[in-house]
A and B are shown apart, each in its own frame.
Chain A
Amino acid sequence: MGLLLPLWASASASEPAPAASSAPALIAALGQPAPAHTAFAEARFLQVLDRPLVVSGELSWLGGDRLQRRVDHPQQETSIIADGEVTQQRAGRSPRHFSLKRAPQLQVLLDSFVALLSGDAARLQQAFEIRQGGDAGGAWTLTLVPRDARVAKTVASIRIDGYAKASRCMHMQEADGDLAVDLLGPLAAQMPAEPTREALQALCQSAP
């Protein structure tokens, strides 16, 4: 849900998992320089819809608190978060602006992604309670639960699945039951035409 910024890996995806298994060490290892780009495919399971919405395109971290989300399918659309404002541009329509304040979920995401992308474990820990899981094969899972009760009313949790120094999936569970799952990097190409929660779960936890 929202502007799902990835914790993608660059060329280092095949390196072994970091030796230290603590969350701060993992987060620090995930950090990378801006700007960075990755493909994404997102499925949204919304209560107002009978079937999930699927979009795909490219996500970019432009440095600082500036993020860009470009959707290529099924409709061209570009959203930019910069200076606390979201600008949304759609082919054939005038751009729409709104403030991050009007969408607290976005603010949470922006904060967490920038912290993750810059490897800033301290900033991340300020906003979230972090749980880490994983196996000896190099797969890991980070679960982020917002500390702010107001935020928790809309965003229940964020879960990131990864392997080695690359994030592969991001799940955002909203408090009202809606769920967004983003497949990141090479995995984005494997988004099924008609995804289900279970199929995506399996995809995220499969070995690369």
Chain B
Amino acid sequence: MRRGARAALLIGWLLALAGLGWMVSQRLHVSTDLRSFMPAPTTPDQRLLMEQVGEGPGSRLLLLSIGRSCASCARGTGPSMAGAGLSDEQLAALSQGLAAALKNDRRYSQVLNGSFDLGALDANLLPYRYLLSPTLDTQPLDEAYLADQLQQRLDDLSSPAASLLKGLLPRDPTLEVLKLAERWAPAKSPELREGVWFSSQGEALLLVQTVAAGFDPGAQQQAIDGIRQAFHALPGSSGATLQLSGPGYFSVVVGAQTRHQADWIGRISTVGFIALLLLAYRSFSSLLLSALPIASAALAGIAALTLAFPEVHGITLAFGFTLLGVAQEYPIRVLSHRRAGEDAVHSVRTLWPLLLTAIASACIAYLAFYASGVNGLKQLAVFTIVGLLVAGFSTRYLLPYLLPRRVRDVADMRWLARARTFVDRLPRPRWIPVAVAVAIVLMLALAPAPFWQNNLAALTPLPQDLLQHDARLREALGAPDVRYLLVLQAPTEQGVLALSDQLQSHVDALLAQHAADALELPSRYLPTTALQRERQAKLPDRATLQRALDEALQGLPFRADLFQPFVDDVEAARQLPPLTPQRYAQTPLGQRLAAMLVERDGHWLGLGTVSGVHDAAALQALGENTNGAVRLLDLKAASESLVADYRTRILQALLVAAILLVLTITFALRSLRRAWHVLAPMTLATFLVLAVERVAGIEISLFHLVALILAGGLGLHYALFFERDTGDPAEQRRTLHATLVCVLSALLVFGMLAWATIPVLRAIGLTVSLGVAFHFCLSILMAPHARQD
């Protein structure tokens, strides 16, 4: 090809890539919500986990502490040490400032810092206090009660609390607002200092409920950024540190840590990879050009995803890029297999049937993933199939026209000839497959249980100090447990509230027995409309109330018309339609209730939050004889069963993929014997990796399975090329060269990952490294003997 045509092709290719990149940047919506990667839930508990738990009240809670920053703690932290660090007062001001800043932000549904908040009941809902407070259940608004209350208020007015109550008095002489505020305050409150919550270590504490789901790290990141910005914008925040905790924060931290370590390792291995390829081919332009098929594959894969799916999951991309590692082999094979002076197009042509077999078999195998029906796996299949096809075909039809014409034939390298001789002289006893199979069976049998790792969180563990900090804040704040939920089910919303109301006495009894520290039911925030009507019926009419009030005021110094607003409010309360969750939802408290009431498939669920569970069995017993209307949901158990289901789907897809692979290879090679030489080492090596990891005590997770699939794909290439009998020793040497470059580069990239401290990276790195090594050795040892010339 002429120089001008080459340049045109290169420019055209780059332009096409740029176009794809632009399209991807316009259309790509990455979803980070873990739930959208999960399979469709099958059991009711799993469905609840998937649909609600990420949005459940507990998982959306962020725990905040504002402490003295370390510059000032060195100078002393005691509140009495004036001038040393921030005072309690300053911390409290920061707490108040942060709460005020977040309260009007739509990203947060609730902000609590312990400060008394009369606004808890929205101003235009104030008359509802008589329907919401339990006072009227036991106490009519009669003369005797009013007289007693008014006398108490008189005492209050002569006490230090006077300034506090003075404004409330005319409208609410029985202090229903305060009773409700007490009822809605968290069951276990931290110490109040300077009007806000403080921990025993002298930090101001806050609770923030995000609107975003807890398992959506992207949205949680935004919520957390908002909190940090609001905090740093406060005057005086420079001397204080803000610390966060909670499920949403953890998902962000884990994501960032994993990314950070992956990036760091990725940079080192990229440098090593480039050095290795430069060493192998001594051509900078070859190196750059061989990156084009991979880049095309990745961009085309994402572009296909954006066309086929409205949202692409972050995990799909991460898994997809891992699996696309196979495609890196295609250009390497082309580079290694060129003869001196031979046109690149010609050498690709001779290589193509084998490459096409490898590409086709991988693609057909991934079709099984598409058929699995799981959204995340479908996306993975579309991404990898499109990616592999684009990488393969661009390697065949574009790359050769660009490669430099003059190259060194690797077959002439002396060390390679020696290596090939060494490999050819290796003994290849027929019993090797049998011995390996027996070893695999023995290792699998002897490996310590359990086989599978169902707890995905164990793969991305949190630093111990974060967990301790979380436990300390959770204990101090009495924040709900993220693991358990008490689920109430009824045909209607009101049914759930009624059930919750009935359950309250049993729950109180359990709490008295210390089965849990606290259990918050939805009826705590809103009684049923029936109960509200009952209370409404007990409210006296205007004339009756006025008469009772007048008599109660006899002998008391209150101004005659002082309590007119009270009389008006009671009259208003008599006329009100009962408060429904919908009307309530416009206020912060109603938002909290809305998080506890959810509709699903024509019935309603109430989610009771539990904190400090000591006796899960006792809580479980709440559900006895309720026919499932009340049950304790163990989110950990539900998520683990979900992961197990997911794995079953992957294993089924793998089984189908294996069958498709056998058929494709047998058809492509048109010989069962040859197919055996390709598939046997690949299968044995895959199980050998599994067996070695199990014997080492590693529990197998989804990530191990995906890594095994990648290693299998690489192993297929090794076996296919070693099995090929060209009858040309120079070509055999080139095959060895290409395979060695592939193996070394894979070992470099994934071997680095195997040293990562984060288990999920280690899982992928170790599995692929072991896989590449085993596949390489077994492919050589089980390949038919090279013909000796």
**Chain A interface (Cβ < 8 Å from any Cβ of B):** 1-3, 42, 44, 46-51, 53, 55, 69, 71, 75, 77, 79, 81, 83-86, 88, 90, 96-106, 154, 174, 178
Contacts and interface: CB of A to CB of B under 8 A. Distances in A.
B161 A99 contact: no
The 7 closest A-B pairs by CB, nearest first: A101-B195, A99-B195, A49-B557, A3-B160, A51-B557, A55-B158, A53-B158
B192 A99 contact: yes
B184 interface: no
A102 B155 contact: no
Contacts, number: 92
A178 B167 CA distance: 12
B163 interface: yes
B116 A102 contact: yes
A99 B164 CA distance: 10
A185 to B, nearest CB: 20
17 contacts: A1-B163, A48-B169, A48-B170, A50-B560, A69-B160, A71-B158, A79-B159, A83-B193, A85-B193, A86-B160, A88-B159, A88-B160, A96-B161, A99-B116, A99-B195, A101-B92, A102-B164
A101 B196 CA distance: 9
Given A99-B192, A101-B195, 9 more contacts: A49-B559, A53-B157, A69-B160, A86-B161, A98-B164, A99-B116, A99-B194, A103-B161, A103-B164
Residue in B160, B161, B558, B560 whose Cβ sees the most chain A Cβ within 10 Å: B160
B160 to A, nearest CB: 5
B154 interface: yes
B559 A50 contact: yes
A53 B195 CA distance: 28
A90 to B, nearest CB: 7
A53 B557 contact: yes
Contacts of B170: 48
Interface in B116-162: 116, 154-155, 157-162
Nearest to B118: A102
A46 B166 contact: yes
Q: How many interface residues does chain B have, given as a range?
A: 20 to 34
A88 B194 CA distance: 17
Nearest to A174: B163
Interface in B423-482: none
Nearest to A154: B163
A59 to B, nearest CB: 12
Nearest to A101: B195
A117 B193 CA distance: 24
A2 B173 CA distance: 20
Given A49-B557, A84-B88, A88-B160, A77 B155 contact: yes
A77 B159 contact: yes
B16 interface: no
Interface string B190-202: 0011111000000
A202 to B, nearest CB: 23
B161 A88 contact: yes
Residue in A3, A69, A90, A98 whose Cβ sees the most chain B Cβ within 10 Å: A98
B419 interface: no
Contact of B116 (A49, A69, A98): A98
Contacts of B159: 71, 77, 79, 88
A99 B158 CA distance: 18
A1 B162 contact: yes
A51 B558 CA distance: 8
Contacts of B196: 99, 101
A84 B193 contact: yes
Nearest to A96: B161
Given A48-B170, A53-B557, A84-B88, A42 B192 contact: no
Contact of A100 (B169, B195, B560): B195
A81 B170 CA distance: 27
B115 interface: yes
Interface in B159-218: 159-164, 166, 169-170, 192-196
B150 to A, nearest CB: 11
B194 A84 contact: yes
Residue in B89, B163, B169, B193 whose Cβ sees the most chain A Cβ within 10 Å: B163
Contacts of A81: 160
B185 to A, nearest CB: 12
A49 B154 CA distance: 9
A75 B154 CA distance: 11
B616 interface: no
A48 B157 contact: yes
A2 to B, nearest CB: 6
Contacts of A174: 163
Contacts of A100: 194-195
Contacts of B558: 48-50
Nearest to A99: B195
B366 to A, nearest CB: 63
Contacts of A88: 159-161
A86 B154 CA distance: 18
B70 interface: no
Contacts of A44: 157-158, 162
A119 to B, nearest CB: 18
A47 B170 CA distance: 11
